[in-house]
Amino acid sequence: MSMFEKLIPYDAAHLILGDYFQYHHQYKRITKRARIRFENRDWRGAQADSRERIALYREMVGATTEKLQDFLSDQKHSRDMWRQIKQMYLDEIYNFNSRNIAETYFNSVFRHSHKGLSADEELMFVHATGGYAEFRSLVPIYHTFLLFEPFEHSIRQLMACFSFDAPYIDLERDIIRISETLKKKLDSLYYRGANARIEMLKSVFFRNKGAYFVGRLAIGEFFYPFVIPVLHDERGIYADALLLDANEVSSIFSYNRSYFLVDTDIARELVDFLKTILPSKSLGELYNSIGFEKHGKTVMYRDFLRHMDNSDDQFILAPGVKGMVMSVFTLPSYPMVFKVIKDRFAPPKRVTEQEVKEKYELVSLHDRVGRMADSHMFENYIFDRSRFSKDLIEELTREAPSKVTVKKNTIEIKHMYVEKRMIPLNIYLDNADPEEAEEIVNEYGKAIKQLAAVNIFPGDMLLKNFGVTRLKRVVFYDYDEIVFLTDCNFRVIPEPRNPEDEFSGDPWYSVGPNDIFPEEFTKFLIGRPEIREIFLTKHGDLFNVKFWIDTQEKLIRGEMVDVFPYRKRLRFKNVYKDQMP
């Protein structure tokens, strides 16, 4: 026996820690590229970076696990060994300003090393080891600008803090427009010119074609969002809007959008700042939005455990039309749904379970453009059986017996997805008044068009596969039939050759596996005539082959269609009718 065998847990902890450092370095390096991409208008590169950063975590965790198992050899599954490794790891990271992220990395390596095990409170950081709010930068993470009229002076100072290696088109014009928009907001708040300031995060938030200066307007003890979306076209850089409404900014940070590339040293400090202007967002959502999606999952799980301890309602089948591929259940007091892939799919579904998993993986890496729900995948998740309704247990054991293990006191689910709960679109429209129906039907059409713009064809576009969010936004959440739009063959139905063709129940023309006939959409998208009429008026082009082929051609040419995460009427070009210099 080696004299220093007692140091094996320490060395194992440092093996994980060394790879965590390497991961964090690569994560930040990809993130820092975002500014350069923006300055050079390299939009494809920016999207590739987003995908690379998501994939990086899994690749690093896999490599760490392999090295660690080789190092530990026959002790790789020893509980006593892992107990010591966890303690040594905690000792080393206890004063890290990114301790929370490092704990999540450890958990991922542990789970990867112990396939088939559920969360282990003794050997994992299931519960937080601190508030993490104790870590603060030595200097503030935001700039502060006192507000005095005329506001142009403060805004000029503010904009001077955000320079790029590319010119602004007309910075003075932007300063005036931001100042005027701010003045209108302050007038609406009956501001009397005392004790107001703007606090702007020093880090710029990048996503797709946009950069966002994110801050808050502070009046006394009250905070309001202060977010400036900035764009860069062939003429130069310009401020596109000033967003001062919490709902508008909430949409930008939505769980239905891709994660921001934003450089930060202490993620919790940044999240705490964002929470002051987005109080309706959970901490898990905010970690997701800034790119720490694995830690966002950890925070969501911890939040869920706390909720289970402080509630007593039962899980039930989710309301709405039952799906052919998923069994979906929810806890009425908690704003999430839990989705389990069924063992068998009823006709006409032809996808396999593996294909369904691949579709979810595709969505996690793709630009969700605010129209596809983000989801977290959990394995070997253990629930208290007493919290499940009898109907739900019967459904799960009937539809997904290979993934559900029912014991005396627990129910273990081998594989499931967790998503934010929404109102199914068909249920929303059944209860909507005419004005609400018109707004949401318009949103439904926009959702289909914006998915098309990012090369996604939903496949099954029935109302039941879309949901309505708190902010009345329509979002797609059924991924088993999605395909890339450029892989589809959009066709016009050929004219009947004779009366027999016209009245035949079978098509008189050949239909390939990728053939899609948009004119058929009218038969199944919307049942109620008055709602269908609204849809035809606003989005009738969706039933025409031309729309789809035109969109395909743009995608093939490499065009990136502009999809704004805020309302177009707020854009300065529309407010000021594009009064360019």
Would you call 541 a catalytic residue per the annotation?
Answer: no
Per annotation, catalytic residue among 19, 374, 478, 480: 374
State mean pLDDT over 178-191: 92
State mean pLDDT over 27-36: 97
Where do runs of H (alpha helix) occur along 321-431? 353-365, 390-399, 425-430
State residue 499's pLDDT score.
73
Distance CA 493, CA 507 (A): 9
What percent of the chain is modeled with pLDDT above 90? Answer: 76
State residue 41's pLDDT score.
96
Residue-wise pLDDT tens digits, 218-266: 998 899 999 999 999 999 999 999 999 999 999 999 988 889 999 999 9
> Would the pLDDT of 501 be above 70?
no
Where do runs of H (alpha helix) occur along 290-433? 293-309, 353-365, 390-399, 425-430
Residue-wise pLDDT tens digits, 415-441: 999 999 999 999 999 888 888 989 999
The residue assigned the tokens 């899609």 is: 516
> Would the pLDDT of 1 be above 80?
no
Contacts of 385 (CB under 8 A, 6+ apart): 393, 406, 407, 408, 409, 410, 411
State mean pLDDT over 191-220: 93
Q: What is the 3-state secondary structure (H, E, C) of 221-286?
A: CEEEEEEEEEEEECCEEEECCCECCHHHHHHHCCCCCCCCECCCCCHHHHHHHHHHHCCCCCHHHH
State mean pLDDT over 533-562: 90
Q: What angle do CA 406, 411, 413 make, to 5 degrees?
A: 105
> Would the pLDDT of 374 be above 80?
yes
> Would the pLDDT of 86 be above 70?
yes
- Band the pLDDT of 581: cuts 50, 70, 90: very low
State residue 49's pLDDT score.
96
State mean pLDDT over 309-338: 94
The residue assigned the tokens 């069994």 is: 327
User: Nearest to residue 183, comparing CAs of 201, 171, 196?
Assistant: 196
Structure tokens at 200: 């702007």
Distance CA 15, CA 290 (A): 27
Q: Under a CB-based contact definition with an 8 Å cutoff, are residues 446 and 439 in contact?
A: no
State mean pLDDT over 457-476: 91
Distance CA 128, CA 100 (A): 8
State mean pLDDT over 352-366: 92
